[in-house]
Amino acid sequence: MPETPEEKAPPRITPVRVVVALCLVAPFVAMLWVGSYAKVEPAVAGIPFFYWYQMMWVVLSAALTTLAYKLWRRDEAARASRRGGASR
């Protein structure tokens, strides 16, 4: 089956895709930059900063991944409707 020119073209970088990438990369950067959270103070409810910061990122990571997924699906649906096809 011959490919259309649109199928051969590389994916386009759009503002939505940049936001999706930032949502997915942010937790990695935050967790890999250990020097930013390797401390005890400020403690929250007696929990040292080192621990509550990591627990906060578990929740934030889930929220950012959900946001990235929803943005990606919306972007794919919009691209499919512009092409005249159905989205998955």
16-58 pLDDT, tens per residue?
A: 999 999 999 999 999 999 888 888 899 889 999 999 999 999 9
- Cα–Cα distances in Å, from 34 out to 6, 10, 64, 88? 43, 36, 20, 39
In a domain, 4, yes or no: no
The total of structural domains in the chain comes to 1
In a domain, 53, yes or no: yes
Contacts of 54 (CB under 8 A, 6+ apart): 31, 37
In a domain, 39, yes or no: yes
Helix (H, G, I), strand (E, B) or coil at 83: helix
pLDDT reading at 5 higher than 80: no
1: confidence class by pLDDT, cuts 50, 70, 90: low
Helix (H) or strand (E) run with residue 73 in it: helix 49-83
Q: What is the maximum span of the chain, computed from C-alpha positions, in angstroms?
A: 64
Q: What is the pLDDT of residue 69?
A: 97
The pLDDT > 70 percentage for the chain reads 84
In a domain, 10, yes or no: no
In a domain, 57, yes or no: yes
In a domain, 9, yes or no: no
Under 8 Å between Cβ of 58 and 20: no
Q: What is the pLDDT of residue 85?
A: 63
Structural domain for 50, as ranges: 17-78
Can you tell me the mean pLDDT for 57-82?
A: 93
